[in-house]
Amino acid sequence: MSEIPYKIYLEESEMPTAWYNVRADMKNKPAPLINPGTHQPMGFEELRGVFCDELVRQELNNTDRYIEIPEEIRNFYKMYRPSPLVRAYCLEKALDTPAKIYYKFEGNNTSGSHKLNSAIAQAYYAKAQGLKGVTTETGAGQWGTALSMACAYLGLDCKVYMVKVSYEQKPFRREVMRTYGASVTPSPSDTTNVGRQILADFPGTTGSLGCAISEAVEAATSTEGYRYVLGSVLSQVLLHQSIVGLESKAAMDKYGIKPDLIIGCAGGGSNLGGLISPFMGEMLRGEQEYEFIAVEPASCPSLTRGKFVYDFCDTGNVCPMAKMYTLGSRFIPSPNHAGGLRYHGMSSILSQLYHDGYLKARSVEQTAVFDAATKFARVEGILPAPESSHAIRVAMDEALKCKETGEEKTILFGLTGTGYFDMVAYEQYNNGTMTDYIPTDEELEKSFAQIPEVDA
């Protein structure tokens, strides 16, 4: 076995040509999406009004283990993939740990995160169907940026509803999207019924992700030739993001490395689900053992403190409902929460795997996350996104445990993106003014009380 380089890059010829669908290997399949009015499972005909046809097929496909990646998407992937699998030699040295730490770095593209992997896929199928454009929402802006890039590449119109407070506080993200030709509307806006209603009910509101989703869905379903696309949570998104795990696994296999522990941050679950999928598949098929840890913010703890029930995915209750670990669709993290990972629910796939005991979860507080981010930046030279830094925090904690026990564990974590557009949060941390907040049981109970009863 040759010496492990700092960065393992696959050759173009070694890149995956099919996505891996973990649902094919799950004994307990994720529960189906249901209609928010009738509570009946939604089939192809009902879903195709919201999503484009091929994506509905992928959303409903619980059986095919591999789904071929169309050539045009593979060519787009070649512009920024394969992403490097990095051996964190410098971090290991700084921690003085016997653990071997690897991370899959998805930040080396202009969207700054893994979101581009699904954005190009969703835009491609919309284009292939002859649609004119797509609509979506964005909070911090990573997903909106990724979708703008994909749409610019394919010549597809892109309408982004951006949570108003982010629109105003993150003008640079907004300008990147505009540079890629997207139209960006602060949400809530007066361009949709649901937006006008929210503005009337809550004058002066700065918006929320759930509200922006409702606007984007209304805009898509009320405009000829448009469909709605979403950057996380959905099973189709985890399918596309499996490219992250497949590349990681191929790179590790090439050097005969087997990870003991795989760690990812989890908001809606797109990164974690993508990273762990092929490894989880081996475990589900009984071929291999791994330990998986989902890391979420203590301020938005859907896995560690949420309920596993059907809930709304948006504020306006226009989206399909999903069975998932949820904090309630009206839950909004405390205003001191920095970065993403602020969604109230979790991917149905990951929720089911967690419920069935295949996946562990841990919540961390944000000052501890930024401690880890800053240490990591200084020794590994990459300024991580706050979201990604949740995984760094736990990877460092686990490596420090190995230092105590002497175990030479091999740890793999997902470094989903860069923090260039998160410097307001870093500034708070640098100035010592960053604070933590953990919701009380009472707050969560209040939020849980708004979850509807569903017999499904």
Which residues are near a second copy by CB under 8 A?
5-7, 9, 11-12, 76, 78-80, 90, 108-110, 112, 149, 152-153, 171-172, 175-176, 178-181, 374, 377-383, 418, 420-421, 423-424, 426-427, 429-430
Q: Residue 405: how many CB atoms within 10 A of its CB?
A: 10
Query: Would you say 14 and 250 are in contact if contact means Cβ atoms under 8 Å apart?
Result: yes
Please, what is the angle between helix 116-128 and helix 71-80, to 10°? 150
Residue with tokens 């509807």: 452
User: Which residue intervals of 325-448 are DSSP H helices?
Assistant: 348-355, 366-380, 386-405, 423-430, 441-448
Residue 69 CB, nearest approach to a second copy (Å): 15
Work out the burial of residue 341: count CB atoms within 10 Å of its CB; fewer than 13 is exposed, 13-18 middle, 19 or more buried.
buried
Residue 24 CB, nearest approach to a second copy (Å): 31
Closer to a second copy by CB, 424 or 454: give it.
Answer: 424
Residue 159 CB, nearest approach to a second copy (Å): 16
Closer to a second copy by CB, 400 or 424: give it.
Answer: 424
Closer to a second copy by CB, 70 or 452: give it.
Answer: 70
Residue 278 CB, nearest approach to a second copy (Å): 23
Residue 123 CB, nearest approach to a second copy (Å): 13
Query: Would you say 361 and 354 are in contact if contact means Cβ atoms under 8 Å apart?
Result: yes
The dihedral built from the CA positions of residue 5, 369, 277 and 418, taken in this order, carries a sign that is negative
Closer to a second copy by CB, 87 or 342: give it.
Answer: 87
Q: Rounded to the nearest 5°, which phi and psi values hold at 135?
A: -125, 155
What is the distance between the alpha carbons of residues 103 and 223, in angstroms, rounded to a whole number? 42
Residue 390 CB, nearest approach to a second copy (Å): 17
Spatial CB neighbours of 443, under 8 Å, sequence gap ≥ 6: none
Closer to a second copy by CB, 233 or 392: give it.
Answer: 392
Closer to a second copy by CB, 11 or 96: give it.
Answer: 11
